[in-house]
Amino acid sequence: MFCVVRREHTRFWAGRCGTGRERHEESMGIRDIKLRSDGVKLQMTSMIDVVFLLLSFFIITYRTPEIEGDFNIRMPVQVQSNKLPSLDDLTPVIVRLASDSQGELTGIVFGDKSLGVDFQLLRKSIFEYIQASGSVDFQQALTTSVIPAFKDDLEVEFDCDPKLRYKYTMLGITAVTGYLNGENQIVKMVEKVKFTPPKK
Amino acid sequence: MKRKYSSLSPGSLNMTPMIDIVFLLISFFTLVINFSKAEQHEDVLLPKSELAQPPETVPGELLTFQVTQSDEIFIGSTVCYLDDAPRARGVPFSKALRDELHVIRSVTRTDAAGVTAVVRADENVRTGFVQRLIAQCQEQGMETFVLRARQVRYEE
């Protein structure tokens, strides 16, 4: 294809630089730069080759950018001390994610309630747990722009099986941190998330 | 006056519009090419999350860890392994982390507690591996961690 393009292109520019067209354009006052057959000629073929190479490079290497986002967790080292623990330290809500030997999710437990492997059920349970008044239904919150009042400073601690694939942990963190409401806006439920210490 | 549409002989290609379009395409790709992918790693496929959003405020000092599916940790171009799982390739993670924190401290005078660890872990990495990585960062005095995910919006 490139050979055909180059041949046609060479023929085209040879035609353009010919004396007949040049005289016509000079008489019409179109051209300021005069290209004569005995003068300097631009060799366009190599430039077009480079341009096609550039274009091929860009097309092959182009990838649509993916939007990345962050989940913040704050986990200072637990220091042994004689002081009484603060209220925050006493009240983390435990979410347990269990897995099989292949790392696939086998169960979600919130408090003492088993939720199967349904992260939307986990989201609903968290929603109902932290809602201050209990006046807004979960489905209503998902489909409308009503934002209920949530209790502040709730901390969720994830107790995950070591073999569990990280994608399930991220789905769990996503489920407890918030949801998309009816207007596709993110509503935050839990800001504080942490992990249990790693198991041996 | 009769207008002449083309001076080319029948069967020949008019190259001018094609070259124009090619140049436009090159201009487009040149403008949209992203040179800020230094933080990304080709072996890391981030987990999906519908709530992942770019942070509104940029934390002070960041230290990015790329965790691949084969349990390798990249700090910049340095390959590391967790201390309790030695491998043939790379350096111990705690040593590499200590060196990085030392450089940050000497350049910006920020101690380990002020450095945010950005964990870019592959979606198939074991969660226990990420937890052990975080634990080793804690041993060096780091307190703030960021788990990175790619944004996926599920259409109902």
Interchain pair B50, A9: CB under 8 A: no
Closest CA to A71 of B12, B149, B84, B155: B149
Task: Give the minimum alpha-carbon distance from A1 to chain B in angstroms, rounded to a whole number.
Answer: 13
pLDDT (mean) for B43-58: 83
pLDDT tens readout for residues B52-91: 888 777 667 889 999 999 889 999 888 999 877 777 788 9
Phi, psi angle pair for A177, to nearest 5°: -80, -20
Q: Which residues of B touch A72 (CB under 8 A)?
A: 144-146
Does A54 contact B53 at a Cβ distance shorter than 8 Å? no
Instruction: Say if CB A115 and CB A122 are below 8 A apart.
Output: yes
Task: Calculate how close chain B gets to A188, using CA atoms only, in Å.
Answer: 9
CB atoms within 10 A of CB B151: 16
* Torsional sign, CA A132, A136, A137, A138: negative
At position A190, the amino acid (one-letter code) is V
- Distances from the Cα of B15 to the Cαs of A33, A48, A154, B6, in angstroms? 20, 11, 67, 12
pLDDT band, residue A1 (cuts 50/70/90): very low
The answer to whether A70 contacts B153, with C-beta atoms less than 8 Å apart, is no
DSSP secondary-structure letter at B155? P
Identify the residue among B147, B148, B152 best suited for mutation to test binding to A, counting A beta carbons within 10 A and taking the highest. Answer: B147
CA-atom Rg of chain A in angstroms = 33
pLDDT at A59 over 70: yes
A 50-69 near B (Cβ less than 8 A): 51-52, 54-55, 58-59, 61-62, 65-69
Residue B26 C-alpha, separation from nearest chain A C-alpha, in angstroms: 6
What CA–CA distance (Å, rounded) separates B55 from B40?
16
The partner residue sitting opposite B8, judged by closest CB among A15, A164, A171, is: A15
In degrees and rounded to multiples of 5, residue B151 shows phi and psi of -80, 125
d(CA A164, CA B74): 21
Is A187 in contact with A131 (CB distance < 8 Å)?
no
What pLDDT, on the 0 to 100 scale, is given for residue B156? 42
Higher pLDDT: A51 or A90? It is A51
Within 8 A by CB and 6+ apart from B107, the residues are none
Interface size between A and B, measured as CB pairs under 8 A: 181
| pLDDT band at residue A95 under the 50/70/90 scheme | very high
Candidates B8, B25, B147; nearest CB to A73 = B147
Q: What angle do CA B141, B145, B148 make, to 5 degrees?
A: 150
Looking only at the bridges linking them, the beta strands covering B144-151 and B115-121 are parallel
Please give the pLDDT value at position A36.
52
| Cβ–Cβ gap B52/A164 under 8 Å | no
Picking from A76, A164, A186, the nearest residue to B126 by CB comes out as A164
Contact A12, B12 (CB under 8 A): yes
C-alpha distance from residue B108 to each of A158, B28, B78, B123 (Å): 34, 38, 21, 33
Higher pLDDT, A141 or A95: A95
The chain-wide mean pLDDT, for chain A, equals 77
How much is the pLDDT for A74? Answer: 74
DSSP code, position B112:
G
Checking if the pLDDT of A38 tops 70, the result is: no
Averaged confidence pLDDT in chain B: 84
Q: Do B123 and A170 touch (CB under 8 A)?
A: yes
Mean pLDDT check: name the lowest of A154-168, B33-47, B54-68, B141-155.
B33-47
Question: Which pLDDT score, from 0 to 100, does residue A19 have?
Answer: 52
Least CB-CB distance to A166: which of B29, B55, B122?
B122
pLDDT at A107: 93
Closest CB to B7: pick one of A15, A71, A164: A15
Contact between B80 and B93 under an 8 Å Cβ cutoff? The reply is yes
Instruction: Indicate if the pLDDT at residue A79 is higher than 70.
Output: no
pLDDT of residue A30 exceeding 50: no
Listed in order, strand segments (DSSP E) in chain B are 48-49, 61-67, 73-75, 78-81, 91-92, 115-121, 144-151
Higher pLDDT, A173 or A65: A173
Residue B122's pLDDT is 94
Q: What is the pLDDT of residues B104-125, one digit of tens each?
A: 999 998 888 889 999 999 999 9
pLDDT at A102: 92
Q: How far apart are CA A110 and CA A172, in angstroms?
A: 11
The ipTM (two decimal places) reads 0.77
Tell me the three-class secondary structure of A95-127, residue by residue: EEEEECCCCCEEEEEECCEECCCCHHHHHHHHH
pLDDT one-digit tens code per residue, A186-199? 888 888 888 888 87
Specify the pLDDT at position B31: 83
Of A55, A165, A173, the CB nearest to B22: A55
Contact A173 B49 (CB under 8 A): yes
Query: Nearest Cα to A110, choosing from A97, A127, A128?
Result: A97
Q: The whole model's pTM is what?
A: 0.72
Residue in chain B closest to A59 (alpha carbons) equals B29
